Amino acid sequence: MKSKSGAKKRFSFTASGKIKRKHAYKSHILTKKSKKRKRNLTKMGAVHKSDHKNVVAMLSS
């Protein structure tokens, strides 16, 4: 079974097994967003536990 190539580009695992992701809303219309908001969107986030199973399924090959 192939893994989803889009998911491979968007998610990565941490050493403890959590899945890292990027925040949304950082690609365009940035002039109306505050510096603090844009800075916090730059940081990595973790995939929520309710989505964890689906993301692992997309990444498993």
pLDDT in tens, 29-57: 999 999 999 999 999 999 999 999 999 99
What is the pTM for the complete model shown? Answer: 0.79
* CB-CB contact of 23 with 33 (8 Å): no
Q: Which domain holds residue 49?
A: 5-59
Enter the tokens of residue 47.
């995939």
* CATH number assigned to the domain comprising residue 23: 4.10.410.60
**b/e string for 4-14 if b means 16 or more Cβ within 10 A?**
eeebeeebeee
Reply yes or no on whether the pLDDT at 61 is more than 70.
Answer: no
Beta bridge partner(s), residue 20 = 12, 46
| Number of domains into which the chain is organized | 1
Quote the pLDDT of residue 1.
72
